[in-house]
Amino acid sequence: MDEKKLAIIATKGSLDWAYPPFILASTAAALGYETQIFFTFYGLQLLKKKLALEVTPLGNPGMPMPMGMDKWFPVLGMTLPGMQGMITSMMKKKMSAKGVASIDELRDLCVEAEVKLIACQMTVDLFDMDQAEFIDGIEYAGAAAFFEFAGESDICLYI
Amino acid sequence: MADFDQELDASGLNCPLPILRAKKTLSGMDAGQILHIIATDPGSVKDFDAFSKQTGNELLESKEEGGKFHFLIKKA
């Protein structure tokens, strides 16, 4: 049987949205899929050596808030300085308490499982990003290169 | 619980870590050897079943005991 292929485009750079691409890619690799993730726009944050991902309840009424915080701190309260950092820190504590892996850990597992990580060259240029900020072993490519793999894939996800 | 060659305690770990740890442990084992996995994630019951079907490593046993989930997987 030919190896199955999974192609993912990761476009978001927040802590919560960092999970789906890395969870799915690492699991697919464990199931024997050949896997590639193409990181574009804000998704490039997920390739930084030093991850500084945050989560915000702003513009996200679906985010469950601990201790009824949404009642005590309605939307405007969430715009206060330091609020995003606090919410991020609470989310990380909760994840750790529930045995959910950190993004660093999941990314390491992807690298270990030979998931190919590709940075969108156009976005790197657009935002004047320095390649030294990114982890080693990634590739830089464009849309056509993505299609070379995605066109042969069994599953293709845009996240 | 039948005999096994290696044991992996994935208690307290959440999706997808039990599967990833199991895959890693299995890759260091020989064909025919049996891995005993202990997990607390309720999602692992369906996940190990799916893992076994997709990788060909046979799921010999899957049961709940003492609030934990136990799996026996034979490496293909």
CB atoms within 10 A of CB A127: 11
> Fold for domain A5-51+66-158?
Hypothetical Protein Ychn; Chain: A, (3.40.1260)
Identify the pLDDT of residue A65. 80
Beta-strand pair A155-158/A5-10: parallel
* pLDDT-derived band at B2, boundaries 50, 70, 90: confident
CA B43 – CA B20 distance, rounded (Å): 14
Helix (H, G, I), strand (E, B), or coil: what is residue B4? coil
Hey, is the C-beta of B23 within 8 angstroms of any chain A C-beta? yes
Name the residue among A58, A56, A46, A55 with its Cα closest to residue A120.
A46
Q: Do B13 and A109 touch (CB under 8 A)?
A: no
Chain B residue nearest residue A31, CA to CA: B55
Hey, is the C-beta of A23 within 8 angstroms of any chain B C-beta? yes
Between B57 and A68, where is the model more confident? B57
DSSP for residue A82:
T
Per domain, the residue ranges of chain A are 5-51+66-158
Identify the pLDDT of residue A66. 74
Q: Which residues of A touch B22 (CB under 8 A)?
A: 30
Identify the pLDDT of residue A62. 84
Hey, is the C-beta of B16 within 8 angstroms of any chain A C-beta? yes
Give, for all 159 residues of chain A, the pLDDT tens digit.
Answer: 578 999 999 999 999 999 999 999 999 999 999 999 999 999 999 999 999 999 988 888 888 887 777 777 777 777 888 889 999 999 999 999 999 999 999 999 999 999 999 999 999 999 999 999 999 999 999 999 999 999 999 999 999
What would the two tokens of residue A82 be?
């330091």
Nearest-10 Cα torsion for A14, A149, A129, A78: -10
> Mean pLDDT over residues B65-69, rounded?
94
Q: Please answer whether residues A13 and A45 qualify as being in contact, where contact means their C-beta atoms are separated by less than 8 angstroms.
A: yes
Q: Do A100 and B14 touch (CB under 8 A)?
A: yes
Instruction: Give the CA angle between residues A145, A151, A154 to the nearest 5°.
Output: 130
CA B63 – CA B59 distance, rounded (Å): 11
* pTM of the predicted protein model: 0.89
> Mean pLDDT over residues B18-42, rounded?
96
Identify the pLDDT of residue A55. 93
Catalytic one of B1, B7, B12, B15: B15
Question: Is the previous residue joined to B16 through a cis bond, with omega within 30 degrees of 0?
Answer: yes
Query: What's the Cα-to-Cα distance from A28 to each of A4, A24, B71, rounded to whole Å?
Result: 9, 6, 20
Identify the pLDDT of residue B1. 62
Q: Which long-range contacts (CB under 8 A, 24 or more apart) does B28-32 make?
A: B29/B5, B29/B75, B30/B75, B31/B75, B31/B76, B32/B74, B32/B75
Query: What's the Cα-to-Cα distance from A137 to each of A43, A108, A119, A132, B22, rounded to whole Å?
Result: 17, 12, 11, 11, 25
B15 included as an active-site residue: yes
In chain B the domains, ranked by start, together with CATH numbers, are: 6-74 (3.30.110.40)
